Structure formats: structure tokens, C-alpha cells
């Protein structure tokens, strides 16, 4: 399905600012659909002077007219005249008689979308499609919701909604009309409160009716004396600014969102949406605590590994056997390469790491080898590894440490040369080649030392990949590693 931006840019008529305005309006499409109990469609003009649907929102508490999404479709002939009139006049146009859509009686309202109130720039048209086949005696809540919807439609047609001064808060946990709605007058007095809104405030300790009460005073009553008040709370509960905030009392957290209602700049009151998000906030707190615990574990593991590496370094310096010193030094590098991964994991919120950053730090561990007498090695990196989960990053870091160290220590021993590491990644696999300009493989065969065994075990056993050594004596060596990535959920 095409997105709003894709369709708008394909037509080439609207500017980036216009598209951003439509995105803001589309973000409240569900709110408008729920308040109006109708399907909401946004149309923009096409290059051939027709109209194409860019968004479609269905009502949560009423029957939808469109069982298939109509985004990307041209406007139907029965709506064309009405939509065209709203677009050209900049005025709201209601259908004069019930319209029929697939044997269902409907009522259509076309609302021009204005971005600049002073210049009266019409970006497109919003249509409300009400299913009259489901009509029944409206409740007081439905009447109040419909009045709120009409107020917002009027603001859309005058360029006062959406409000670009409103912060873009996360959609997760955002209050919806069905969660609870309070209508305020210009003085902040509640003129209507839905049952769900009343229940939310009852759970926070307010036992009376909300209607006829100042929402600001009610909120002040239920807040604990020692509670630290969010600075945005006063303007939200009075409906003076289009912001969001949370109110917490008696272990209950209610999220509030204010939508000021205006008429050509004159404030008329506000809609305040409220939602009990206690369980959601509890889950978020648990995740934060869990993330902090995991990061602390990685930090301690890193410290312990660095301690082990330090002990190995001390032992290597004190031993008199060259073979033992070399074995301890290699063990120290292996431990430090694993510590690098845990250090990176300790500084982030997810269990994935930027492996390019990890590998840059791993290469520094090879510097000691490159500094050996008569050896002048230079490393070059091409391509990007990208982000990898920890279960891939740790064995790959250790394996590449072994391969690069071997290329410098043995391939370039006693000479000057280059070790080039090339990473090529697709959605299916990661391919890494390590090429040196050194001595090459003696008799064209791969050694059977501990380092080679470790690399094979890590690549083939833990990463289900393949590794291949190629090269001839005097012509350098190339190591090719291929790791399947199709099972990684990134």
C-alpha cells in the first residue's frame, strides 16, 4: 500500500510543508473517525484535476462503509462534485440528500483542509462518510462526540487544526476518544465527561461527578501533597495548550491530552482525552529496570574479562618460556576482544551492537602484534558490517581477532605490508574477506594450530557459516568468511 508521502510526491503538487501538515492531520484521523462515528478519508488533487485518497480511518465504535482500504483510489463520481466544491470554495459542503454506497444509505461531508488561515491555501479535502443504515436514537455521549467532531472539522477548514505547536508525542499509550473524553468550556469547567473518563478519575480518588467542576481544581484535589507536578499539567487540565501529560494518584496513572477548540483565534474551550495507562507505565518501568540490569551485567562481565586479561598479561611478562609467553599473550587478546563486545552492550539500550565500532576497537588489539620488530603492517577497512545481535557479535569479533592477528603475525612477519578487511552485507548474508600481502600459505595448506581451530569452531559451529583460506606461497593469503543472516530479526 502506498503511503501519504509516496502518493503526494508522485503528484508533485504539494510542498514538503504541505505534506507535513497532512501527516499531522492524518495522525488524528482515528480520533476524528471515532468522534464522528464515520469513515474519514483525506483526498489531494491530482495532476489531471481529479482527487486521490491518501489516508483512510475507520471508526472504532460504528460500522465502516469501506471494507477494503481505498487509499490510492480516485474519487468516485458520486462524491466528485462535492469534493471539488469544497476544494474550490474553501467551505464545508454537506450532501443535500442521502447518498447510496453499495446499497447502504450514507451522508457525506466534505471539509477543505486549510494550512494557512491568512492566505487560505487549500491542500486537499477531508470527507466524512456516515453510515445511515446503522442509525438509531443517539445517546448523549454520541451527541457530544459529534459536536466535538464538528468543532474540529470547522477548525480544519479554517487552518486551526492540527496545531503545529503541539509536541509530537509517541503514539503508544496516547489517549483515544473511546478511552475517555471531557469537554471543557472557556473557563475550564467540564460540560461533559464520558463514563470512561469519570471512571479514570474515580480510580484516582475523585468520587463526585466531573460535570460542572473545574478540571484543574479536581486534579489539584486528587494529587498527593508531596507529588512533583509536571509543568505542563496546568495548561493541559485548563485546555489552554495542545499538550500531553500524566496524572498519578493512588497508584493509578492517567494520561491526558488537551485539544484547544478555537474559532478564528478565539478560544471556545477544549477537548481533554484521558486514558488509564497504569499497566502500560508499569510495564515500561519493568523494561527500564530490566534494561538497566542487563547493562550492569554486561558492564561487570567486561570488567571481569579485563581483569582476567590483565592477569594474563602479568603472567606473560613473568614467564621465561617464549612459547608460554606467546600462548598467554594470544589468550589475553582473545579475552579482550570479547570484553569489547560486552563494553559496547553495556552502553546501549538494546542487545545489538554497531559491529563497525566494535571492529575498530578490536583492530587496536592487533597493534601490539603490528609493532613487532621488522614488521610494519597497515590495516584497511572497506564496507560496513552494520548492527549485529550479541550472539553474533561476540564469536565474530573473536574470530576476526584471530584471523587479522594471524595475518599480521605470520603473513607479514618481518616485512612491510597491508591487511585489507572487506565487509559486504545483504539481507541474506554477511561476507567478510581478510586479505594480506604477506608470505602466503606454505605449500598452499592451512595450518592446524589452536587459532585455526578456534576460528573454525566459531564460524562453522556458532554462526553456521563457512570459512575458506586461499593463496600460495609468496602471493599473500585471503580468508573468506560467509555468515547467513536470514534468521536475524533486526
Residue 33 lies in a domain: yes
pTM: 0.66
Beta-sheet strands, E only, within 277-393: 352-354, 376-382, 387-389
Residue 162 lies in a domain: no
CA dist 175 and 274 (Å) reads: 5
Neighbouring C-beta atoms of residue 170, cutoff 10 Å: 7
Residue 50 is predicted with a pLDDT of 94
**Do 240 and 307 have their domain in common?**
no
**Do 152 and 252 have their domain in common?**
no
CATH number of the domain enclosing 271: 3.30.450.20
Residue 356 lies in a domain: no
Q: What is the mean pLDDT of residues 317-324?
A: 84
DSSP string over 23-51: HHHHHTHHHHHHHHTSEEEEEEE-TTS-E
Domain finish residue from 232, 256, 276? 276
The owner of cell 616485512 is 415
Residue 378 is predicted with a pLDDT of 79
Residue 176 has pLDDT above 90, yes or no: yes
CA dist 184 and 487 (Å) reads: 52
CA dist 98 and 85 (Å) reads: 18
**Do 211 and 333 have their domain in common?**
no
CA dist 406 and 409 (Å) reads: 5
Q: What is the mean pLDDT of residues 71-86?
A: 94
Beta-bridge partners for 42: 55, 126
Residue 421 lies in a domain: yes
User: Are the beta carbons of 247 and 272 closer than 8 angstroms?
Assistant: no
**Do 119 and 61 have their domain in common?**
yes
Closest by CA position to 224, among listed 200, 239, 205: 205
User: Are the beta carbons of 252 and 276 closer than 8 angstroms?
Assistant: yes
DSSP 447: -
When comparing pLDDT for 375 and 325, which is higher? 325
Neighbouring C-beta atoms of residue 249, cutoff 10 Å: 18
Quick check: helix, strand or coil at residue 388?
A: strand
CATH number of the domain enclosing 76: 3.30.450.280
Residue 436 has pLDDT above 70, yes or no: yes
Residue 106 lies in a domain: yes
Band of pLDDT at residue 122, cut at 50, 70 and 90: very high
Residue 184 is predicted with a pLDDT of 97
Residue 267 lies in a domain: yes
Beta-bridge partners for 172: none
**Do 342 and 407 have their domain in common?**
no
**Do 262 and 299 have their domain in common?**
no
Please list the alpha-helical segments (H only) found in 158-208: 195-203
**Do 75 and 195 have their domain in common?**
no
DSSP 76: P
Residue 166 lies in a domain: no
In terms of average pLDDT, the best of 25-29, 303-307, 344-348, 484-488 is: 25-29
**Do 11 and 129 have their domain in common?**
yes
Domain finish residue from 293, 317, 349? 349
Band of pLDDT at residue 349, cut at 50, 70 and 90: low
CA dist 86 and 96 (Å) reads: 14
**Do 224 and 323 have their domain in common?**
no
Beta-bridge partners for 94: 109
* Burial zone of 146 (CB within 10 Å; 0-12 exposed, 13-18 middle, 19+ buried): middle
The owner of cell 436514537 is 137
User: Are the beta carbons of 413 and 462 closer than 8 angstroms?
Assistant: no
CATH number of the domain enclosing 389: 3.30.565.10
**Do 272 and 283 have their domain in common?**
no
Could you tell me the residue range of the domain that residue 268 belongs to? 177-276
CA dist 371 and 344 (Å) reads: 26
When comparing pLDDT for 479 and 136, which is higher? 479
Q: What are the phi and psi torsion angles at 235 (to 5°)?
A: -75, -25
CA dist 52 and 46 (Å) reads: 7
Residue 444 has pLDDT above 70, yes or no: no
Residue 445 has pLDDT above 80, yes or no: no
The 10s digit of each residue's pLDDT in 242-284 is 999 999 998 899 999 999 999 988 999 999 999 999 888 778 7
The total domain count for the chain is 4
Domain finish residue from 322, 349, 376? 349
When comparing pLDDT for 40 and 411, which is higher? 40
Beta-bridge partners for 125: 43, 112
Residue 171 has pLDDT above 80, yes or no: no
CA dist 339 and 327 (Å) reads: 19
Amino acid at each position: 500500500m502506498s503511503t501519504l508521502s509516496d502518493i503526494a510526491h508522485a503528484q508533485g503538487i504539494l510542498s514538503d510543508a504541505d505534506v507535513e501538515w497532512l501527516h499531522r492531520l492524518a495522525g488524528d484521523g482515528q480520533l476524528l473517525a471515532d468522534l464522528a462515528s464515520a469513515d474519514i478519508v483525506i483526498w489531494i488533487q491530482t495532476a489531471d484535476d481529479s482527487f486521490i485518497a491518501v489516508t483512510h480511518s475507520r471508526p472504532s465504535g460504528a460500522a465502516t462503509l469501506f471494507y477494503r482500504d481505498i487509499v490510492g483510489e480516485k474519487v468516485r463520481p458520486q462524491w466528485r462534485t462535492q469534493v471539488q466544491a469544497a476544494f474550490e470554495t474553501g467551505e464545508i459542503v454537506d450532501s443535500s440528500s442521502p447518498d447510496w454506497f453499495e446499497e447502504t444509505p450514507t451522508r457525506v461531508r466534505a471539509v477543505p483542509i486549510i494550512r494557512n488561515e491568512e492566505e487560505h491555501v487549500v491542500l486537499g479535502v477531508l470527507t466524512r462518510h456516515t453510515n445511515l443504515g446503522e442509525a438509531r436514537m443517539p445517546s448523549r455521549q454520541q451527541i457530544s462526540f459529534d459536536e466535538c467532531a464538528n468543532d474540529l472539522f470547522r477548525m480544519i477548514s479554517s487552518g486551526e487544526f492540527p496545531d503545529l505547536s503541539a509536541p509530537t508525542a509517541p503514539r503508544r499509550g496516547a489517549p483515544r476518544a473511546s478511552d475517555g473524553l471531557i469537554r471543557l468550556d472557556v473557563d475550564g469547567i467540564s460540560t461533559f465527561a464520558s463514563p470512561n473518563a469519570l471512571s479514570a478519575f474515580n480510580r484516582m480518588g475523585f468520587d463526585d461527578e466531573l460535570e460542572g467542576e473545574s478540571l484543574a481544581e479536581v486534579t489539584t484535589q486528587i494529587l498527593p501533597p508531596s507529588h512533583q507536578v509536571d509543568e505542563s499539567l496546568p495548561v493541559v487540565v485548563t485546555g489552554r495548550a495542545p499538550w500531553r501529560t500524566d496524572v498519578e494518584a493512588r497508584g493509578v496513572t492517567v494520561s491526558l491530552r488537551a485539544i484547544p477548540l478555537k474559532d478564528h483565534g478565539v478560544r471556545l474551550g477544549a477537548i481533554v482525552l484521558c486514558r488509564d495507562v497504569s499497566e502500560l507505565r508499569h510495564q515500561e518501568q519493568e523494561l527500564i529496570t530490566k534494561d538497566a540490569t542487563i547493562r550492569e551485567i554486561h558492564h561487570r562481565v567486561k570488567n571481569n574479562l579485563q581483569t582476567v586479561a590483565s592477569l594474563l598479561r602479568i603472567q606473560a611478562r613473568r614467564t621465561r618460556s617464549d612459547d608460554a609467553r606467546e600462548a598467554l599473550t594470544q589468550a589475553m587478546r582473545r579475552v579482550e576482544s570479547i570484553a569489547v563486545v560486552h563494553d559496547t552492550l553495556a552502553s546501549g539500550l538494546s542487545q545489538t551492537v554497531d559491529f563497525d565500532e566494535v571492529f575498530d576497537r578490536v583492530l587496536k588489539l592487533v597493534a601490539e602484534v603490528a609493532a613487532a620488530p621488522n614488521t610494519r603492517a597497515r590495516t584497511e577497512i572497506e564496507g560496513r558490517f552494520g548492527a549485529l545481535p550479541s550472539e553474533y557479535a561476540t564469536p565474530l569479533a573473536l574470530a576476526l581477532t584471530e584471523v587479522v592477528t594471524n595475518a599480521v603475525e605470520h603473513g607479514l612477519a618481518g616485512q612491510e605490508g597491508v591487511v585489507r578487511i572487506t565487509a559486504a552485507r545483504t539481507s541474506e548474508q554477511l561476507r567478510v574477506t581478510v586479505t594480506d600481502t604477506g608470505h602466503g600459505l606454505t605449500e598452499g595448506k592451512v595450518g592446524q594450530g589452536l587459532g585455526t581451530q578456534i576460528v573454525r569452531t566459531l564460524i562453522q559451529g556458532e554462526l553456521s557459516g563457512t570459512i575458506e583460506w586461499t593463496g600460495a606461497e609468496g602471493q599473500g593469503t585471503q580468508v573468506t568468511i560467509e555468515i547467513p543472516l536470514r534468521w536475524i530479526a533486526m
